[in-house]
Amino acid sequence: MAETIKHVRRRYAEHVAALARTEWTELIEAFANVPRERFVGPGPWTIIGGDMQRETTPDADPRRLYRNVLVALDDSKSLNNGQPQFWAMMYARLRPQPGERAIHVGAGGGYYTAILADLVEWNGWVTGIEYEPNLADGARRNLADRPNVEILAGDAHTMVEGTCDIVVASCGF
Distance CA 50, CA 35 (A): 22
pLDDT of residue 75: 84
* Overall pTM > 0.85: yes
The three-point CA angle 154-45-26 to 5° equals 70
Helix, coil or strand: residue 103: strand
Nearest Cα to Cα of residue 111 among 78, 147, 143, 151: 143
Mean per-residue pLDDT of the chain: 93
Percent pLDDT > 90 in the chain is 84
Distance CA 14, CA 128 (A): 25
Measured distance CA(79)–CA(6) in Å, rounded: 27
- Per-residue pLDDT band at 158 (split at 50, 70, 90): confident
In this prediction, residue 94 carries a pLDDT of 97
pLDDT of residue 167: 94
Q: Tell me the pLDDT band of 52, cut-offs 50, 70 and 90.
A: confident
Q: What is the pLDDT of residues 75-104, one digit of tens each?
A: 888 889 999 999 999 999 999 999 999 999
Q: What is the pLDDT of residue 1?
A: 52
> What is the pLDDT at residue 171?
72
Count Cα atoms within 13 angstroms, Cβ side, for 97.
2
